[in-house]
Amino acid sequence: MIKPAFEFDPETRRELGHKVIDIIDDYYSSLRTRAVQPPFEARKIQSAQDCYTPLPETGAEAASIIDELCQRFLRDGFHTASANYFGLMNPAPTYAAVLAELLVAAFNPQLASLARSELASQIERETLRWIGESIGWAIHEGTFTTGGSEANYTAILLALAAKSPSYTRSGIAAFAQRPIFYASSEAHHSLDKGVIICGAGLESLRRIPVDGSARMQIEHLENAIQSDLEAGLLPCCLIGTAGTTNSGAIDDLVALSQVCKKYGMWYHVDGAYGLAAIFSLRHRMLLEGLETADSIAIDPHKWLAMPFSVGAVLTSHTGMIEGLFDVEAPYLPKCAEVQVKDNFRLGMQWSRRMNSLKLWLTLRIHGRQAYEELIDRHVQLGREFAAWVEKSEVFELVMQPELAIINLSVRLPGATEAEVEKANSLIVDKIVRAGKFWLSITRVNRRNVIRTMIINYLSERRHMQEFQATLVAAAKEILAAVAR
């Protein structure tokens, strides 16, 4: 019998498995106190070249390679899972999800066709159903994606197919008038990519100005639609955002829905971040109007504490997604008895990883109420943080947070915008270089802000308090240096 090089004996398999689980376990125990990254001066990786090892011709002892790799990750890695991470939308993954990922890798279901993945596909459909029913849709269809970007561009294709049934055959040539898309100036850049991919082009996306709460201004939206109509163009799709990347702002989803009805447009809601609030009975009213959408995007790898990657697109119109990618090839396996479409017909992917299992397992183990607790607590922490900023002598609150992203700026009476921007950047830079915490700079409605996001289920009040003290200390140092 040949023994393939990749095959370990059962004892080694167990030893290595236990080793990895032990390392993960230590890591999870460290997350409440772990620094996000080493201080800048102590960093070992300065450039991509430092990581280069020549292609290994032969192998080496597995346990020591795993040890070495994990040591490097622990020492030099960037730990978005740390409770001190107040950065972009990257959570600490639930442990249940980590276990699910192991199982997915081991069972390696190929979800392209039902014939080879009936159980895995059934679990995917069940998970989608939980999302669809939580939106309030009795009837819906959807598919898991790699993330919000793929979900958004799928929705853009749906909008085009809804406007012209021959779009999938003829492409953009199916339109006698150019189709136009509308989203707020704060909406995510994946929409720019979406209009490029679908063939409509960047000039077909209207970025509508926002108000002081970073919500799309309906009057500007209607003006833009009117001018497009007068110019002989075709208003095709309106994209509302439920939880913008910069500030977590939620567009007025009811008002947007009315505009869509009035002009016969497809209504998509990009809820990559904020749609998680459907799982909170207390906060789901922030998404009022969501149920009127034609399609939605949700990214469980954001607020639902999933590891990368998992997104989903759902629509309240059945048969639509299936119609988008309904291709044939002789090698595609058939599953004669089943009425449901193969997954490869529901999206761009052919080989499909089971991205849903981690969410399914987390919901089965912890239930919806665990997410409700997470969302309610984060929103509350966000409000407390905002109240602290309002009272601060060093910082000012730029906008009241709707979800759990807080935008602030240093107080510099009499300073120019450029001076404030420089001071904000220096403060963030100082904190980031020290390694323990991580936060970022962005622009909201063209104004430079310090962006703080509560995204980790391990982050508690005490982390916020230490973070606030760090912010104040950094600001005082920078302001003293500026004054000198």
Ligand X SMILES: Cc1ncc(COP(=O)(O)O)c(C=O)c1O
* Residue 402 interacting with ligand X (CB under 6 A): no
Report the distance separating Cα 252 and Cα 240, nearest Å. Answer: 8
User: Of the ranges 174-182, 270-278, 413-421, 448-456, which one interacts with ligand X (CB under 6 A)?
Assistant: 270-278
- Chain residues 76-95 in contact with ligand X, contact rule CB under 6 A: 89
Contact indicator for 297, 136 with CB cutoff of 8 Å:
no
Cβ 213 to ligand X, closest distance in Å? 16
Closer residue to ligand X (CB): 96 or 269:
269
User: Of the ranges 173-181, 239-247, 349-357, 398-406, which one interacts with ligand X (CB under 6 A)?
Assistant: 239-247
* Residue 190 interacting with ligand X (CB under 6 A): yes
Report the distance separating Cα 131 and Cα 290, nearest Å. Answer: 12
| String of contacts with ligand X for each residue 92-131, x by CB under 6 A | ----------------------------------------
Report the distance separating Cα 76 and Cα 436, nearest Å. Answer: 13
SS3 content of the chain, % helix, strand, coil (to 5): 50, 15, 40
| String of contacts with ligand X for each residue 292-311, x by CB under 6 A | -------x-----------x
Closer residue to ligand X (CB): 272 or 410:
272
Strands (E), 305-367: 311-315
3-state secondary structure of 476: helix
* Residue 148 interacting with ligand X (CB under 6 A): yes
List the helix and strand counts (H, then E) for the chain.
14, 11
* Residue 352 interacting with ligand X (CB under 6 A): no
* Residue 445 interacting with ligand X (CB under 6 A): no
**How is residue 176 written in tokens?**
């006698």
Residue 415: how many other CB atoms lie within 10 Å: 14
* Residue 270 interacting with ligand X (CB under 6 A): yes
Closer residue to ligand X (CB): 186 or 228:
186
| Residue with the shortest CB distance to ligand X | 147
Report the distance separating Cα 279 and Cα 203, nearest Å. Answer: 37
**Residue among 371, 342, 349, 366 at smallest CA distance from 125:** 342
Q: Determine the residue type at 112.
A: A
User: Of the ranges 238-246, 410-418, 435-443, 476-484, which one interacts with ligand X (CB under 6 A)?
Assistant: 238-246
* Residue 349 interacting with ligand X (CB under 6 A): no
* Residue 273 interacting with ligand X (CB under 6 A): yes
Report the distance separating Cα 463 and Cα 421, nearest Å. Answer: 26
Q: Considering CB under 6 A, how many residues would be counted as binding ligand X?
A: 15
* Residue 194 interacting with ligand X (CB under 6 A): no
Closer residue to ligand X (CB): 142 or 148:
148
DSSP labels, 180-207: EEEEETTS-THHHHHHHHTTS-GGGEEE
3-state secondary structure of 208: strand
Instruction: Provide the binding-site residues for ligand X, judged by CB under 6 A.
Output: 89, 147-149, 152, 188, 190, 241, 244-245, 270, 272-273, 299, 311
